[in-house]
Structure 1
Amino acid sequence: MNISVMDWLAQFTSMSAPFNQIVHYISGSDLFKGLPIMALLWYFWFRDTDPKSNTREIIIATLIGCVIAVFIARGANNIGPYQPRPFANAALIHHTYVGLAAPESQALYIWNSFPSDHATLFFSLATGVFLISRMAGSLLYFYVLIFIALPRIYLGLHYPTDILAGAFLGIACVALSTRAGVIKLYGRHCDMLLNRYPAAFQAVLFIITVEIGTLFYDVRMLLEGIIKYFPR
């Protein structure tokens, strides 16, 4: 299936430079990826303030579940068998992306493509929204598929099975983290902190959502800097 999909896409990648550039921009832009999804979560956070509503519990559980899912995905990237990304796989038909330069980051050539951490993160967040609002969640699933998952397949960053595995992992982790029995493990402590320190709690939560929405970019840069300069 992977080879069939990638071979079929090869006929389109050399047709339009503007289209390739638009897809490339969308694929790398936080404005199209994490930020609108985080804005939607904050919308529900401030909309459903009634104590009888469990929206805030679901949002916190979703954030916890998505972080766990990404951690598992990263672990699978590191310990699983190496699978080169489609554009770096010599066994596949070479795709010519007219209008685009070759990827600059060497990490893209050596990093395992399975599973997709993008799919893991954003399908997990969409699951949390779905548990709050069926309509909004369904639309968000569609948005994640069109604007986040498909561009990464088209650009040769992931195989379809990378996306499917990441989506399954993200959905499963949030489905588990939002169960009532799991929420009881930390829900009371979160409620206590929110009621006692509402401004500080929400400020910290805002920073966390920004980092999640940008795929932990600043955290990753910090860790890479520490590892690079840590004396051995």
Structure 2
Amino acid sequence: MNTFDAAVENFITHAAVSWPFFNHAMRAIASFNLFKGVVPTGLLWAIWFGARRDAGWAREMVIVTLASSLLTMIVGRTLGLFLPFRVRPIYNPDLHLVFPLSEAPELVRRTWSSFPSDHAMLWASVATGIFLIWRWVGVFAFLQLAIFICLPRVYLGLHYATDIIGGAAIGIVVTLILSRDSVKKHFAPMVLRLFDAHPAICYLLAFVFCFELATMFEEPVLIVQSVIKAL
């Protein structure tokens, strides 16, 4: 663990001793999807159906943001598999620190590397897309990312601060790349034409995808893990 991460973790664990109410609040925020994916996903729907003079461009950017979120997760999981494994703070006995969570089975997968943070990657990607479309709402999305997604995961010992910073950087870069006109033109207009031609099936698929996005693709992950275990 580097000096920066050590300073952050030591400060948090010492502060947590005297903040029982704050500890409970952090546990609740980290557990509820309402505080994580529901709000930014809802903002994307608001942008899609909002009355804007540049509605076509805004909808293309929503498509870019959703595509970026999926690509970000793929990139992050690939990095997690091939980079050196990093034990999460809460499971690292060498730190000799006591976190507000004694166990975290419902919040984190012990066998997944701490770096990079999936939450930071995914929602930084979405917040970047929102910011590119609607500046002040994007600022709100980044604040929500920092306060309700990233802070609890560091505070509870689920990630190091550098896991969050690295993950957020990956998500931001992926969205910035896919939002470039030279890249966006190859897929976003085509998807938008499909929505115009087949709205019923497209909105059905969009709802399912956004549900999985808001819940961090929990069901697909469980299905894949079950299949791997069975094989």
Q: Is the TM value for this pair above 0.5?
A: yes
Alignment partner of 1:25 is 2:28: yes
Alignment partner of 1:7 is 2:10: yes
Once the two structures are superposed, residues 60-103 of structure 1 have per-residue CA deviations (whole angstroms, 9 ceiling, x without a partner) of: 00111111111111111111101111112223231142xx5422
TM-score by length of 2: 0.92
* Contact 2:48 2:55 survives alignment (8 Å): no
* Contact 1:13 1:95 survives alignment (8 Å): no
* Contact 1:66 1:125 survives alignment (8 Å): yes
Aligned-pair CA distance for 1:10: 1.4
Aligned-pair CA distance for 1:219: 1.0
Question: Which residue of structure 1 lines up, in the alignment, with residue 184 of structure 2?
Answer: 183
Determine the C-alpha separation between the residues in 2 that align with 1:71 and 1:198: 27
Once the two structures are superposed, residues 128-173 of structure 1 have per-residue CA deviations (whole angstroms, 9 ceiling, x without a partner) of: 1101111000111011001100110000011111001001000000
Which stretches in structure 2 are left out of the alignment for 5+ residues? none
Aligned residues: 228
Determine the C-alpha separation between the residues in 1 that align with 2:77 and 2:182: 26
Matches within 5 A, 1:60-209: 60-97=63-100, 100-104=101-105, 108-209=109-210
Aligned-pair CA distance for 1:39: 0.8
Aligned residues: percent identity? 32
Classify the secondary structure of the residue corresponding to 2:95.
Answer: coil
Determine the C-alpha separation between the residues in 1 that align with 2:94 and 2:210: 39
Determine the C-alpha separation between the residues in 1 that align with 2:20 and 2:104: 16
Aligned-pair CA distance for 1:106: 11
Determine the C-alpha separation between the residues in 2 that align with 1:219 and 1:26: 23
Determine the C-alpha separation between the residues in 1 that align with 2:11 and 2:30: 20
Residues 199 and 11 of structure 1: is their aligned pair in 2 closer, same or farther, counting only changes over 3 Å? same
Question: Which residue of structure 2 lines up, in the alignment, with residue 42 of structure 1?
Answer: 45
Question: Which residue of structure 2 lines up, in the alignment, with residue 224 of structure 1?
Answer: 225
* Contact 1:115 1:163 survives alignment (8 Å): yes
Determine the C-alpha separation between the residues in 2 that align with 1:49 and 1:190: 19
What amino acid maps onto 2:159 in structure 1? H
Aligned-pair CA distance for 1:227: 2.1
Instruction: Name the Cα RMSD after superposition.
Output: 1.8
Which stretches in structure 1 are left out of the alignment for 5+ residues? none
Determine the C-alpha separation between the residues in 1 that align with 2:209 and 2:55: 25
Determine the C-alpha separation between the residues in 1 that align with 2:182 and 2:98: 48
Determine the C-alpha separation between the residues in 1 that align with 2:206 and 2:30: 26
* Contact 1:33 1:147 survives alignment (8 Å): yes
